[in-house]
Structure 1
Amino acid sequence: MRWLPGLLLSMFLLITAAAPPLPAVVERDFQPQFARYGVQGSFLLYDEPAGQYVAYNLKRCRQRFLPASTFKIPNTLIGLQTGALPDTAEICRWDGVTRSFPQWNQDMTYARALRVSCVPCYQQLARRIGVARYQQWLRRLRYPGMVVTPATLDTFWLGGKSQISQVEQVDFLRRLQAETLPVEKRHQRAVKQLLILRKTPEYTLYGKTGWRFRSARNPDNGWLVGWLERADGRRAFFALNVEPQPGPINDDQFIASRRAVTEAVLRELKWL
C-alpha cells in the first residue's frame, strides 16, 4: 500500500486542476454614496477586463429579494421566444383603470411598457404566457428563485416567495449581453436595445430599475441592474439593491436614488 499516498496526491491534483478558479472579490465601502441619497443597501459590479467582482456589503449581495420590474427583462424574452408577444411594437391596450402612475393610463407598445415599467401591461403578458411556459423557460434561462403558480401568475415577481440575488442578476445579464441565452439572438438584441439608458461617444449605459412597494410587513426595496460598455470594448456589469434609511420616506428621492447611487459608484470606480 506504499503507492496509496502517491495515488491520492495525483487524484487531488487532477481534481483541483479541473475546478475553475473562483473570480476574486474586492470589497469596497460605498456607504457615503448611499447615505447621500438617503438609502442603505448593497452594490455588486463584475469588472470583465479584470475578471473580478467589486462588492459593497458582500453578504447582502448574496441575499435574495423580489425582482420587481427587473423581471421585465426575462419576461420580455420569454414572451418573444414563446410567441406570446409577437414583437415589442405590439400594443398593450389600457384597461381603463386609472392608476397612480399617469404614464400607465394609456395604450402603449411593449417597448414603452418596459421603459416605463408598466405593471398592468406585463400582467396581461403573464396571462398569455401561462404557468407551464414560465416554469419551462425560467429553467432554461437559469433565472433562479421564481415561484409561479396559477394563483400568482400575474404577480409572482411583485410579491410572494420569488427572490433573486444581485450575484444571480449579474450572472443573467452577462449571458444576455453575450447573447448566449437559449433564446433567438434577434430577441436578445431587441431587449438589449430597450435597456439603453444613455449613449455617448465614450460609453453606453444599459439598465432596468425595479421597485417593490412597501407594505405593512416590508419596506420599499429598489433595484437597478445593467451593464456599461466603454467605446474601447471594456464592460462592467452591476446590480444595485437599496432600501430607505430609517425615518420619513421621500418617494421621489427613493426613486431617483437607484440611478444616482449607481452612477456615483461607477464614477468612483472610474467607469464613468
Structure 2
Amino acid sequence: MKPSLFRFCFRVLVLVLLTGFGASAQRITERDYQSYFAAYGLQGSFLVLEAGANTYTAYNLPRCRQGFLPASTFKIPNTLIGLETGAVKDTTEVFRWDGVSRKFAQWNQDMTLARALRVSCVPCYQQLARRIGATRYQQWLPRLQFGRMAVTAATVDTFWLAGTSRITQFEQIDFLQRLQRGQLPVSARSMALTKALLVLSRGPGWVLRGKSGWTMQSGHDNGWFVGWVEQGSKTYFFALNAEPANGGPATEKFVLGRRAVTEQILQREFGLLKAEAK
C-alpha cells in the first residue's frame, strides 16, 4: 500500500472511531414537543430511544446534551451500590426515622429501602450514602459510568443534590439500557431487585419503569423523569428534564408534570402505554 493511501485510510478509520462508527450508528430525529411542556407550565427537553432500531427522538436536542445534577435519579445506582457493597442487605431492610420533621410528610417515618425509593426519601438514602462512604463510591461510580459524579468525604450524602456532579439525558439512557439488559458490572441479584423497585405501572402487554428527581437550589428548581417502557417485543428508554417556565416557582404542575408530560408523549407520539392492537 502506498504511504499516501495508507495515511488516507488511517484518517478515515480514526474519523469513524471518533464519530461512533458513523452517523448511522446513532440516528436522531428532532421533534417539537413544546406544547406538552407548556400545558404544565414547564420548559425543558425530552429524549426517547427505540432500542431495537437504535433511533433517538429528541425535543430540544442541545439541552438533551447538557448536564444537570442527577437528583433522585441517582437512587437507581445508589441502590445498586448499596446492595453490592453490603451497605444494605436487601430491599426490605428498614431505615429508622431520625425524628426530624421534614417538608414531605411521607419521609417522617421508618421505612424499608423499597418504600424509600418509591417515595424518594432523601434522608433514607443519605443514611445509605454515609454507610457506603466516599472511598467505595469512588471505586464504584467509574464502573457504573453514571454521568460524571464528584464525591468527597465532605459531600458523601449530598453530591447528587448539589455541587458539580452532572449527567445528560443521553447518559441517563445509556445507563438505563445497561441496567435493563443486565450489562452492569454488578450481580444479577442487585439488578433484579433494583429493576423490581422501578416498576410504576402495568397494562395489557406493557410495563413502565421509572424514577423522578428534583433539585432545589437558591430558588431554582430542576426536575427529572427517566426510565423505560417494555411493550410487546419493543423497549423504549426515555429521559425528561424540565424546569418551571421563565424561572418561576415549583408548583403542583411541576411536581406532577414531569411524569404526566412523559406519559402523554409516549402515548400520543409513540403509541405506548396502551393495549396492543390485535
TM-score (norm. length: structure 2) = 0.92
Distance across 1 between alignment mates of 2:179 and 2:120? 19
Select which of 87, 95, 99 maps to 1:84.
87
SS in 2 for 1:135: helix
Query: Residue 212 in 1 paired to residue 215 in 2?
Result: yes
Per the normalisation by structure 1, the TM-score is 0.94
Instruction: Tell me the equivalent position of 2:177.
Output: 174
- Structure 2 stretches of 5 or more lacking a match? 274-278
CA separation of 1:55 and 1:95: change in aligned 2, threshold 3 A: same
Matches within 5 A, 1:40-79: 40-79=43-82
From 19, 22, 27, the equivalent of 1:24 is 27
Contact 2:221 2:249 in 1 (8 A): no
Measure, in 2, the Cα distance between the counterparts of 1:17 and 1:62: 21
User: Residue by residue, what CA displacement relative to the aligned partner does 1:78-105 show, whole Å, maximum 9, x if unpaired?
Assistant: 0000000111100000000111111001
Partner of 2:276: none
How far off is 1:6 after superposition? 3.3
Query: How many angstroms apart in 2 are the aligned matches of 1:15 and 1:223?
Result: 36
Change (3 A) 1:250 1:169: closer
Separation in 2, partners of 1:135, 1:269: 39
Shift of residue 14, structure 1, vs aligned partner: 5.4
CA distance in 2 between counterparts of 1:256 and 1:17 reads: 42
Aligned equivalent of 1:228:
229
Listed as ranges, the gaps of 5+ residues in structure 1 are none
Please say if residues 215 and 221 of structure 2, whose CA atoms lie closer than 8 Å, have aligned partners that are also in contact. yes
**Once the two structures are superposed, what CA deviation does each residue of 1:136-176 show, in whole Å capped at 9, x if it has no partner?**
00011111211111111111111111111111100000000
Residue 122 of structure 1: which of 110, 125, 137 is its match?
A: 125
1:9 CA displacement: 4.3
Amino acid at match of 1:159: A
Match of 1:156 in 2: 159
Alpha-carbon separation, structure 2, partners of 1:111 and 1:253 = 26
How far does residue 271 in structure 1 lie from its aligned partner after superposition?
Answer: 2.4
- Aligned-partner Cα distance in 2 for 1:120–1:145: 23
Q: Provide the rounded CA distance (Å) in 1 between the counterparts of 2:155 and 2:146.
A: 18
Partner residue, 1:110: 113
- 2:255 is matched with 255
Aligned length: 268
CA distance in 1, matches of 2:250, 2:154: 33
Q: 1:213 Cα deviation (Å)?
A: 1.6
Deviation >4 Å, runs of 4+: 12-19
What is the deviation of 1:252?
A: 1.2
Distance in 2 separating the partners of 1:148 and 1:15: 34
- Percent identity among equivalent residues? 56
For 1:249, give the aligned amino acid.
P
- The one-letter amino acid paired with 2:3 is L
Amino acid corresponding to residue 220 of structure 1 in structure 2:
D
Query: How many Å apart are 1:50 and its aligned residue?
Result: 1.8
**What does the per-residue CA deviation read over 1:12-70, in whole Å, with 9 as the maximum and x for residues that have no partner?**
56556776233111000000011011100000111112211110001000101111100
